[in-house]
A = this chain, B = another copy of it.
Amino acid sequence: MSNASVFAALGDATRLKLVSRLQSGRHLSIAQLTRGLELTRQGVSKHLHVLEQAGLVSSKRVGRETRFRLRPDRIVRARDYLTRAAAQWDEAVERLKAAVEG
């Protein structure tokens, strides 16, 4: 829920790949998402639940499979946090420069 947990969820190469795969906008099953990732289905499943816990994806049971889709609102939230962080740093540095010259 916090910004830190969202960044933590993105801080793993496998999970970044999963997010990347879900950028297609489609609902993908665990088996589909496992394809091409050199680890077990259960490993992928665990990663997906981490992403879901952080609010980055949502899941829906469809027949015998569980489909995951991206929920980009949290991604946008994290992006805005970084945008503000960089902007505040810029402003602070400008103020410091001015103070040194003055």
Contacts and interface: CB of A to CB of B under 8 A. Distances in A.
Interface residues of A, number: 38
Nearest to A15: B4
A-B residue pairs, 10 tightest by C-beta: A8-B11, A25-B92, A79-B82, A7-B11, A7-B10, A25-B93, A11-B11, A4-B13, A23-B88, A7-B7
A4 B75 CA distance: 14
A1 B10 CA distance: 14
Q: Most chain-B CB neighbours within 10 Å: which of A19, A72, A95?
A: A72
Contacts of A4: 10-13, 15-16
B88 A83 contact: no
A3 interface: yes
